[in-house]
Structure formats: structure tokens, C-alpha cells
Amino acid sequence: MKPRYLTKSRFKLAHECPTKLFYTGKKDYVDNKLDDDFLRSLAEGGFQVGELAKLYYPGGTNIDELDHAKALAITNELLQRDKAIIYEAAFVFNNFFIRADIIIKSGSKIRLIEVKAKSYDNEEGFTGKNGSIRSTWKPYLLDVAFQKHVIKQAFPEFEVEGNLMLADKGQLTSIDGLNQKFFLSSVEGRTKVNVIGGTSAKDLGTAILATVNVDEYIEMLYQERYDFNGNDLSFIELANRYAEIYATDQITFCGLGSHCGSCEFKASDVQLKEGLLSGYHECWTAQANFKPEDFSTPHVLKIWDFRKKDDYITNRKQYFQNGITRADLDAEKPKKHTELG
């Protein structure tokens, strides 16, 4: 039987809601994010950014082998060398398995570089005024923290440095038509980015991607405590818990809340009629005792910009709009959006 590894995308999914680990990858269940993520990546240039990043660290070995064991063997062989640049390097430790975007190995040091199609402002940084990590950056930093943990466990003899490679807000491209140097193709159902032959870093003009060392923030995340179903866990305990949930394929309910409003495992009426399964419907039936008719009753989740959703759902157990008071809605109006930490 194929091992059920916790990968970086599954770690991210679990951090949104651990219950999602049960529904992900099962073809009987609706997953609306599969297409969404692909389209968003296309729109934001995610595929091209990954390829552009490799040009800034040229001369590496691209491991496009999909087979886990083969990808691990190639990675291990390359890491035997004193110096190596590896794209899509594979690492495994217990039930964790990751493919790292870029690895630069030099002696006993490994630089891990995670590439994101997201812009970064050096002046603003990753933390808010109160010194804690901004919520908008947290998923990205958790991602690198998770990868660093796996590499450290797989190769304890190496010093591992975590980096994010991001679009530098302070730089404008000095080359016209930079994006035309990259074109997309589909090979066996997978999207591939091809770089026009002969393109090198010097053809790219001003560096528009910045590599930012994020070890300081990773350390903050390692020190943080995480609530998991009422248990106070460390980062490593949390990652182990996610890995165990996924490996055993047991459904784990961790509470309903405002996060359910964007659940990708919610089937539409049409999808339900087609016989597809809906994780969302299962969750609300099991945890809120929903009957079929409740799914068509106007839900608290549907109220736009209503910040008391969690209070209504978790504490008051009032799931429908007819339970909302005028005073609650009015109380929302004067407040302005501010970024929390």
C-alpha cells in the first residue's frame, strides 16, 4: 500500500482545518480547490515564477521524477557532493515527505528556498506593530518552517537555513516582455513551464525576485503553542498529529467555524445530484446535527463581513441568520478593517 505522507500542501491544508485531511485526494468527494488553485497559479504567474527562480540559481539538477523512492535516491546522491544545487529535491522523515523548490548544498550547510508568487516589501517585513507574525504571511512561513523541520530530521548532520523567494516590491523589471521568455505546456496532464532556449540570469535584467532569510520567524513559529482540540501542542507535536491523522485516514473533527465558509469540500446541489460526496455536508451533519433541509436555510456563514461568525457558531450554536440580532449587525458597522498582528 502506498504510504500516506504529510506533504507541504497537506500540512497547509491541515492547518486550515485538520478534518480536510480526510477528504483530500478522494475522488468521490468534491474538491473545488483543485481547479481554483490551478487557475490562480496561472493568473498570478506561479508557474513562471518557479522557473524564473531557478534561473537566479543556475546550474542545478532538476528532479522531475515523480516516483518518491527514485526522487529520494537522486536527492541523496546529490547531497553526497560537497556542493550541489537541486530543484524539487525530495526529503522523507517518518510520515513526512516534501519536495523543496530549491536546495543549495555547500559543505555542511543546506539553504532551503521556497518560491512564492507573492510580493514582499522589505520596509514592512513579516511582522506587525506588536512584533507578531502578520496573519497574511503566516501560511507561507509555516510552510518553510515545516520543510525545514523535515530536512533537519532527515539530515541532522546539516545546518539548515530557511528562505522565501518572493517578488521584490521595490524592483521593476528592466526587460520588456520578460514573461514571453516562459511558456506553458501540458505533459501527461501536468503543467510544465518551458524557458526559451539560452535564457540565463543575465538576460533577466534587474533581479525582481528577492531571497529572504526567514529563520528568525521560523524560530518564532517553533516557540509558539498551538491549540488542537483543546490540547496545547508545540509545532513539532502539531506536525506529528497532522501526519498521524493523514496516515491513519481517520476522520478527525476539530470544530465548525467561520473557516467552513470557504471550505473547498462543499458540494453544490448539482454535484450532490451527480452523486458526489460533500465533506461540508458530512461535517455539519455530524457536528451540528444538520438535517437535509438545514443546508438550504440561510446560514450565518453567508453574511458578508460579519466578524461574530465564530461566536455564533462555536459558542452560541446559532447557525442560521434568523438567530442574528439587529444589535449584532449594527455593532459591526463603525469598525474599520485593521490587520491583526
Closest CA to 168 of 207, 137, 215: 207
Closest CA to 8 of 243, 248, 250: 243
Give the total of residues touching ligand SF4 (CB under 6 A).
11
Here's the x/- map for ligand SF4, 8-27, by CB under 6 A: it reads as ---------x-xx-------
Q: Are 47 and 54 in contact (CB under 8 A)?
A: no
Return the beta strands (E) in 8-138 as ranges. 61-62, 83-93, 96-106, 109-120
Q: Is 312 in the site for ligand SF4 (CB under 6 A)?
A: no
Closest CA to 66 of 95, 92, 41, 99: 99
* Spatial separation of the C-alpha atoms in residues 229 and 314, rounded to whole Å: 13
Nearer to ligand SF4, 50 or 279 (CB): 279
Least Å from the CB of residue 313 to ligand SF4:
10
* Non-local CB neighbours of 97 within 8 Å, separated by 6+ positions: 3, 5, 6, 7, 68, 90, 91, 150
Here's the x/- map for ligand SF4, 148-187, by CB under 6 A: it reads as ----------------------------------------
Phi and psi angles of residue 92, each rounded to the nearest 5 degrees, phi first: -135, 145
Least Å from the CB of residue 144 to ligand SF4:
24
Which part of the chain contacts ligand SF4 (CB under 6 A), choosing from 65-73, 178-186, 201-209, 278-286?
278-286
Here's the x/- map for ligand SF4, 237-256, by CB under 6 A: it reads as -------------------x
Q: List the one residue from 280, 290, 306, 319 that touches ligand SF4 (CB under 6 A).
A: 280
* Spatial separation of the C-alpha atoms in residues 140 and 151, rounded to whole Å: 17
Here's the x/- map for ligand SF4, 253-272, by CB under 6 A: it reads as ---x--xx--x-x-------
Nearer to ligand SF4, 57 or 265 (CB): 265
Least Å from the CB of residue 16 to ligand SF4:
7
Least Å from the CB of residue 31 to ligand SF4:
11
Q: Are 119 and 164 in contact (CB under 8 A)?
A: no
* Spatial separation of the C-alpha atoms in residues 107 and 96, rounded to whole Å: 25
Q: What are the cell numbers at 279?
A: 465533506
Nearer to ligand SF4, 182 or 246 (CB): 246
Judged by the rule CB under 6 A, the positions of this chain that interact with ligand SF4 are 17, 19-20, 256, 259-260, 263, 265, 279-280, 283
